Every structure is written in structure tokens, then in C-alpha cells.
């Protein structure tokens, strides 16, 4: 099975993805590539237990977590390149990536957890040089759009095992966030005045999740989870299957499909993930995710996710990295004048889990 996982990773890692960029900043934002350093390395798997923070993925999997405290934090580095026909212009900017905290407790009859996590991100910085074609094509000015902010959720959850090994769980929480926009337009002709504007969006609404986990044979599990909609976060449903106990650092692999019900149309992602255990205290993981943002530019995005955990007695230290790219045609800052727009994101997350 180890050779199968390695071969699959080599074949599929060039095909992974997360949605981001201008369309996401104007619409439903970008989902985090996992809520913590463990799930980040698996491409943000939600439906089955891969370890990490199940409170913000499938709360039914809380029954498979030992009493534990976990925390993670990391940056996003983003780059946009625009080919406007007269040249290629690039901007690089940064934001806060997967950041979270969770504490869990198991009793004889149920498992409980509470925590806080960043759910979606709106960080974006775009610059477009517009062209005057009279009499000859020439760059006539530029416009900027700067977007900052994200959506956070504080939640508590409970899960229990019923009918043998079937687990059911639910969580409820409150989402908050401020998304701020700054726009600036400048023409190189001094007779034409500059223009600018600022606006914002706010999130403040209760949310809930419900999930189930069912064993399907020796070391095989199936899971599904539904998350409700709030103002700046679409509802979603995810289902997956996992072969091998990768949450306990055993070799394994799995598949997950997820659908987001956005305001424009449905976004989706398909995730192949797996892990290997080359040493008694070292675990490597990776994922391949193919996704569509579902917005005005529903192109398929590509990228990679990978990570590792080092176990030191009662403390597990994890790190994860992902690279994603998304190419769009004809739409930058709302105007269909650019030839191509390339959005690239890299994210790095570090975290630790302490057994109680």
C-alpha cells in the first residue's frame, strides 16, 4: 500500500487546487486549505478522520480523537500576474492563512470539543494598467483594488457512537468577520481627476454542522458532513472514504468530493489524499485537489498540498505547505480587457497537538 500511495502522489500532485483571487474576493471568499497543519497537508479533507481538528470538519469524528489541545497558524503568500497585451505586470502580497485552536474531551458516553478557526479568506491585491487605443495602443492609467479580512468561527461540538461503531456528531458556532475594500483609479492625463471608493462587508451569524461516520470493513471508513450557509460563506456538503488509519499515523489513502452552493452556481472540489509512515515518529502526507470556484469565472484551478508530523512523546509537531495556480481569461477588476490573469498562492502552516 505504501508503494501505491507514493505512485499515486507522484502522478496526481501536479493537479491540485484551491480557489482564490479577484472572483473569490468579490464573492464568497477562498476556503482555507485545511483548518490546521494536519488537515492542510491533506488538502483540507472534511468528511473523514485524518487527524487534526474535527470540530471544524466532520464533528462525528470527534469520537476518534483522544483528549487533546491543538493550535496552528500560518501565512498566505499570493501573486497575481496580468497580461494586458502591452506587457505582463505582477503584484505579490500576503495574508493570514490557516489559523485555529481546539480543545477536546472524551467521556464514557460522548466526546466534546470547542475551538476557534479561520474559515474563509478574502485577501487580495490587484493592479490593472488600462489601455487607450486612439490612435495607437498605449497604457493610459491604472486602477488598484485592495481587499482584506476573513471569516472566523467559534464553535462547540459533541459526538457519540451509536449502533456499534457508527458515529454521529454536530457542532454549532458563531461566525464573525470584516471584509474591507479599497479601490483607486488614476489616469495619466492630469486633466482627468482620480477616483476612489471604500466599502465593507460584515459577517455575524450563527452556523451549524452535522456529520456521520460509518465503518465499511477492515480499516475502511466512510464519512459525510453538511455545513450551513451564512452571509459570506456558502453551504457545503462533503463525502469521502478513507482506507487505513492515517489519523493514527498509519499508511493510507482516500478520496473526497465536496460541493459549495454559491450565489451564482455550485462550486466543487475533488480530493485525493494519502500518507506514509517511514519512521516510528515521522509521518508524511500529501493531497491532490481539483476544484472550480463556481463564480463568474468558474475555471478549474490546480495546485499541490503536502505536510509532515514529528511525534515527540505527548506532543505532535506538524507543518504543511501548498502551492496553487489559477488562470482566467478576460476579467480583471471587472473589465474584460486583459488577455490572461494568473493567480498563484502559496501557504505554510505550523501547529502542535498536546495529549492530555
Residues 6+ apart with CB under 8 A from 127: 80, 82, 89, 91, 142, 143, 144
- Residue 18 clears pLDDT 50, i.e. is over it: no
Answer with the residue of higher pLDDT: 65 or 15. 65
Q: Which residue is listed with cell 490612435?
A: 135
Instruction: Select the more confidently predicted residue: 209 or 21.
Output: 209
Mean pLDDT for 81-95 is 85
Give residue 76's pLDDT.
Answer: 92
Whole-angstrom CA distances from 271 to 15, 35, 86, 209, 234 are 10, 15, 38, 20, 19
- Sequence ranges of the domains in the chain: 2-355
Q: How many CA atoms lie within 13 A of 43 on its CB side?
A: 35
pLDDT at 9: 33
Judge whether 238 and 257 are in contact, CB under 8 Å: yes
224-249 exposure pattern, b = at least 16 Cβ within 10 A, e = fewer: bbbbbbbebbbebbbbbbbbbbbbeb
CATH number of 2-355: 2.40.160.60
> Alpha-carbon distance 280 to 114, whole Å?
30
For the CA atoms of 313, 316, 319, 320, the dihedral, rounded to the nearest 10 degrees, stands at 130
Query: In angstroms, rounded to a whole number, what is the distance separating the alpha carbons of residues 240 and 32?
Result: 18
Answer whether residue 5 shows pLDDT above 60: no
What is the structure's pLDDT at 1?
39
pLDDT at 16: 30
Find the farthest-apart pair of alpha carbons in the chain and give their distance in angstroms, rounded.
79
Task: Give the mean pLDDT of 237-254.
Answer: 94
- pLDDT tier for residue 8 given thresholds of 50, 70 and 90: very low
Amino acid at each position: 500500500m505504501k508503494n501505491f500511495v507514493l505512485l499515486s502522489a507522484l502522478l496526481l500532485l501536479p493537479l491540485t487546487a484551491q480557489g482564490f483571487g479577484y472572483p473569490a474576493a468579490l464573492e464568497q471568499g477562498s476556503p482555507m486549505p485545511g483548518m490546521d497543519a494536519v488537515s492542510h497537508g491533506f488538502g483540507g479533507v472534511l468528511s473523514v478522520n485524518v487527524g487534526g481538528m474535527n470540530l471544524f470538519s466532520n464533528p462525528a469524528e470527534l469520537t476518534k480523537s483522544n483528549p487533546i489541545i491543538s493550535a496552528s497558524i500560518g501565512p498566505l503568500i499570493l501573486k497575481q500576474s496580468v497580461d494586458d497585451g502591452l506587457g505582463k505586470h505582477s503584484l505579490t502580497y500576503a495574508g493570514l492563512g490557516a489559523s485555529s485552536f481546539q480543545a477536546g474531551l472524551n467521556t464514557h458516553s460522548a466526546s466534546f470539543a470547542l475551538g476557534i478557526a479561520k474559515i474563509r479568506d478574502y485577501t487580495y491585491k490587484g493592479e490593472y494598467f488600462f489601455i487607450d487605443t486612439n490612435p495607437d495602443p498605449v497604457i493610459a492609467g491604472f486602477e488598484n483594488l485592495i481587499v482584506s479580512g476573513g471569516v472566523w468561527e467559534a464553535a462547540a461540538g459533541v459526538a457519540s457512537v451509536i449502533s456499534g461503531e457508527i458515529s454521529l456528531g454536530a457542532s454549532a458556532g458563531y461566525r464573525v468577520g470584516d471584509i474591507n475594500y479599497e479601490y483607486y483609479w488614476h489616469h495619466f492625463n492630469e486633466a482627468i481627476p482620480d477616483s476612489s471608493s471604500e466599502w465593507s462587508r460584515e459577517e455575524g451569524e450563527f452556523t451549524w454542522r452535522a456529520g456521520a461516520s460509518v465503518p465499511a470493513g477492515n480499516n475502511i471508513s466512510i464519512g459525510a458532513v453538511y455545513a450551513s450557509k451564512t452571509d459570506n460563506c456558502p453551504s457545503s456538503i462533503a463525502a469521502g472514504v478513507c482506507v487505513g488509519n492515517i489519523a493514527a499515523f498509519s499508511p493510507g489513502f482516500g478520496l473526497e468530493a465536496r460541493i459549495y452552493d454559491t450565489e451564482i452556481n455550485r462550486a466543487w472540489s475533488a480530493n485525493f489524499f494519502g500518507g506514509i509512515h517511514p519512521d516510528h515518529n515521522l509521518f508524511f502526507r500529501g493531497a491532490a485537489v481539483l476544484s472550480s470556484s463556481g463564480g463568474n469565472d468558474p475555471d478549474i484551478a490546480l495546485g499541490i498540498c503536502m505536510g509532515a508530523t514529528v511525534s515527540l512523546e505527548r506532543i505532535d509537531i506538524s507543518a504543511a505547505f501548498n502551492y496553487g495556480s489559477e488562470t482566467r481569461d478576460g476579467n480583471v477588476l471587472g473589465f474584460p480587457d486583459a488577455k490572461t490573469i494568473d493567480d498563484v498562492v502559496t501557504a505554510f502552516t505550523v501547529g502542535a497537538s498536546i495529549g492530555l
